[in-house]
Chain A
Amino acid sequence: EAGVTQSPTHLIKTRGQQATLRCSPISGHTSVYWYQQALGLGLQFLLWYDEGEERNRGNFPPRFSGRQFPNYSSELNVNALELEDSALYLCASSLEQGNTQYFGPGTRLTVL
């Protein structure tokens, strides 16, 4: 069974640009979570989608947004990129909300 997949593996952008990160959950999982892991920091919860709806978001500005598609895959969009947005962005999925989360390998975003 395929695990959570994320693309791209690496993404390099310049300040002010927009970044789009993608995540495909494990087959059958309906919940998708996004986390930011900045250097030296732990995981910071960004967004949670379930059944196509945004269910919860962490303490991040509105320029961090996303969506979940009918096939339960998800996109994370970061607008007006800032240098401090450079981080590893991890996606996780679970069978339904509240169940154990399984993580993808992450997308490393570098903002120059």
Chain B
Amino acid sequence: GDSVTQMEGPVTLSEEAFLTINCTYTATGYPSLFWYVQYPGEGLQLLLKATKADDKGSNKGFEATYRKETTSFHLEKGSVQVSDSAVYFCALRGETLTSGTYKYIFGTGTRLKVLA
């Protein structure tokens, strides 16, 4: 079945460091891919998304490119800030072949800690 695999955390970086959080997926068909962020004590917020191969999603300095050949959607940011400390979830939206409905699969989340 469809699945999402994220790198385990926590990831600890100094302010202004480069960030990469790896995400790979397995899916049938052509899923859409998402990154969500969860700040302490809050729900999930959509960070960015990509709906087809080679699309690049971007928001707030974060980027991720939908790579079908490597089935990956890695999250990157050139210079992290303390305020980026949160848990990041990779997710896919795939179509179930039997019912024609959509299903969402979330990764287990990667905690990012940015130190001043």
- The answer to whether A105 touches B43, judged by C-beta atoms less than 8 angstroms apart, is yes
A33 to chain B minimum Cβ distance, whole angstroms, is 7
How many Cβ-Cβ contacts under 8 Å join chain A to chain B? 47
**Chain B stretch 42-56: residues in CB contact (< 8 A) with chain A:** 42-46, 49
**CB nearest neighbor in B for A9:** B41
- The answer to whether B106 touches A90, judged by C-beta atoms less than 8 angstroms apart, is no
Partner of A98, one of B34, B46, B102: B102
B91 to chain A minimum Cβ distance, whole angstroms, is 8
Q: Contact string, B71-110, partner A, CB cutoff 8 A, digits 1/0?
A: 0000000000000000001000101000101111111110
**CB nearest neighbor in A for B99:** A56
Q: How large is the interface on B (under 10, 10 to 19, 20 to 34, 35 or more residues)?
A: 20 to 34
- The answer to whether B103 touches A56, judged by C-beta atoms less than 8 angstroms apart, is yes
Chain A residue numbers with a CB within 8 Å of B108 are 41-42
- The answer to whether B102 touches A42, judged by C-beta atoms less than 8 angstroms apart, is no
Chain A residue numbers with a CB within 8 Å of B109 are 42-43
Q: A33-B104, A42-B107, A55-B101 are in contact. Are A100 and B46 (CB under 8 A)?
A: yes
- The answer to whether B103 touches A45, judged by C-beta atoms less than 8 angstroms apart, is yes
- The answer to whether A103 touches B103, judged by C-beta atoms less than 8 angstroms apart, is no
Q: How large is the interface on A (under 10, 10 to 19, 20 to 34, 35 or more residues)?
A: 20 to 34
A83 to chain B minimum Cβ distance, whole angstroms, is 22
Partner of A43, one of B42, B99, B103, B106: B106
Chain B residue numbers with a CB within 8 Å of A4 are 43
**CB nearest neighbor in B for A41:** B108
Tell me if A110 counts as interface (CB < 8 A to partner B). no
- The answer to whether A103 touches B101, judged by C-beta atoms less than 8 angstroms apart, is no
A4-B43, A43-B106 known, 19 other contacts, Cβ within 8 Å: A6-B43, A35-B106, A41-B108, A42-B89, A42-B107, A43-B89, A45-B103, A45-B105, A92-B44, A98-B93, A98-B95, A98-B102, A100-B34, A100-B46, A102-B46, A103-B44, A103-B46, A105-B43, A106-B43
- Interface of A with B (CB < 8 Å)? 4, 6, 33, 35, 41-43, 45, 55-56, 90, 92, 97-98, 100-106
- Interface of B with A (CB < 8 Å)? 34, 36, 42-46, 49, 89, 93, 95, 99, 101-109
